[in-house]
Amino acid sequence: TLTKRIIAQDFLKIDLSTIFNRKPLAIIGNFPYNISTQIVFKTLENKHLIPEFCGMFQKEVAQRIAKKSGSKVYGILSVLTQAFYHVEYLFTVPPTVFHPPPKVESGVIRLIRKEAYILPVSESLFYRVVKTAFNQRRKTLRNSLKTFNLSDKLLEDAIFAQRAEQLSVEQFINLTQKIANDAI
């Protein structure tokens, strides 16, 4: 049976594992735009509990989550979310449907957790690689990932001549595997 509960609490402070005794839950909401990325990161931290998520964000944030590699708005949020969820940008909501109307458009997205949502690499290393690569997004990976002290042999790999926004999620996973193997 499907259990429904509306919980009027601060999403960022609630322990999601206590809501339904560690059973899966769906997140649906019109999120405060000033904390919407924090809500996505909390969802990612609790992905084992959240197979589905649907929410309204400021349009630019929704687009950033949904965009694929090669886009100017593709970034950390895109890669980390898409590593664990199938992301679909559903529709745009104009300001005129609200009273009072906000100054920005809104976008609704849906996340469906991937069946294989456990990465074949260290999740913490994957997060570090993605964040470090995008922190200097205009540099090639050879330069942006210098802090990893990679071997010259690994740096010869063609992937290091690319920029972070050029890599797909799968390529970031492969890159993380290469970096992990280089450290051995």
Residue 155: both structure tokens together: 């740096």
Average pLDDT for 112-129: 96
Residues written for the chain:
184
* Cα gap 56→52, rounded to integer Å: 14
pLDDT of residue 173: 98
**Of 13-22, 29-38, 91-100, 132-141, minimum mean pLDDT range:** 13-22
Alpha helices in the chain (DSSP H): 36-45, 59-66, 76-84, 123-135, 141-144, 152-155, 169-182
State the residue for tokens 């906000």: 102
Domains of the chain: residue spans and CATH = 16-113 (3.40.50.150), 123-182 (1.10.8.100)
Residue 7: both structure tokens together: 């919980």
Confidence of residue 184 (pLDDT cuts 50, 70, 90): low
Name the pTM for this structure.
0.92
Cβ contact 110:26 at 8 Å:
no
**Residue type at 76?**
I
pLDDT of residue 19: 82
Percent of the chain at pLDDT > 70 equals 98
* Cα gap 89→94, rounded to integer Å: 15
The most confident of 11-15, 18-22, 106-110, by mean pLDDT:
106-110
